[in-house]
Structure 1
Amino acid sequence: MENTVAKVRLCNPRDSGRCLELDLLVDTGSTYTWIKASRLRELGIEPMKRWRFRTIEGRIIERNLGEAIIECMGERATTIVVFAQENDAEVLGVYSLEGLRLEVDPVTKQLKKTEALLAI
């Protein structure tokens, strides 16, 4: 199966000059966007809280969360980011995709802008 990769720009919401360009695997099975903690610290993004997550193997893990500005395909949104450990994958999750009004085309497997959002 072909993977969908997104070119994104991730920025510190309190210092828009501190940004990183990243290629992220789009993971529609992941609620949040996971970025290596070292990269987030490099941007000056601080953890706000710590949450528990269940892995695909069923294990419970804890990770810090923060906020970032994400840009992709001409769209920009504030999003939640998970401080990933070095062995965690970096992925673009559904929360960020919805904030950016983007979706994965089921035929081409490419990102596209959402035609319209659900109103209710």
Structure 2
Amino acid sequence: MGVTHVTVTVRNPAQPEKAWDGLFLVDTGAVDCLVPAKHLQAIGLKPRSKRTYELADGSEVKLDIAGAQVEFMGETVWTTVIFAADDAEPILGVTALESVGIEVDPRSQRLKRLPAPRLK
């Protein structure tokens, strides 16, 4: 399988004028969005909680999280963002994709818009 990237804008919901744009890896195996902490801090986001995540190797790690406004492909969604290491590759998780009715076409590895988000 190939990799898919998309440009994403992350905004501080309390101060929408504060935003960061980045190229995110689309990862349908990831639930939430992962963003280098330095970019979240630069737009004024602060950790609100911690959540335990399972990594690809099966180990678990507890990470800081917050809520943010995420924009991509002309869509906007409010979702959980993970405060990652400053050198981490940003990841767009499946929750944000599915919330706006976008999925990855397994053949072309491109994002495609569904006629409507699934409610079932």
* TM-score, L = length of structure 1: 0.92
Kept in 2, the 8 Å contact 1:24–1:92? The answer is: yes
Poorly superposed stretches of 4+, deviation over 4 Å: none
1:41 is aligned to 41
Q: Percent identity?
A: 30
Aligned residues: 120
CA distance in 1, matches of 2:37, 2:50: 13
One-letter amino acid matched to 1:58: G
CA distance in 2, matches of 1:105, 1:49: 33
- When the two chains are superposed, the root-mean-square deviation of aligned CA atoms in Å is 1.3
Kept in 2, the 8 Å contact 1:71–1:100? The answer is: no
CA distance in 1, matches of 2:35, 2:117: 26
Instruction: Indicate how the Cα distance of structure 1 residues 71 and 27 shifts in structure 2: closer, same or farther if over 3 A, else same.
Output: same
2:117 is aligned to 117
* TM-score, L = length of structure 2: 0.92
- Cα distance, 1:40 vs structure 2: 0.4
Unaligned runs of 5+ in 2: none
1:71 is aligned to 71
Unaligned runs of 5+ in 1: none
- Cα distance, 1:54 vs structure 2: 1.3
CA distance in 1, matches of 2:33, 2:5: 13
What is the CA deviation profile of residues 60-115 of structure 1, one whole-angstrom value per residue up to 9, with x for unaligned ones?
11100101111111111111101112354321001111223211112211112122
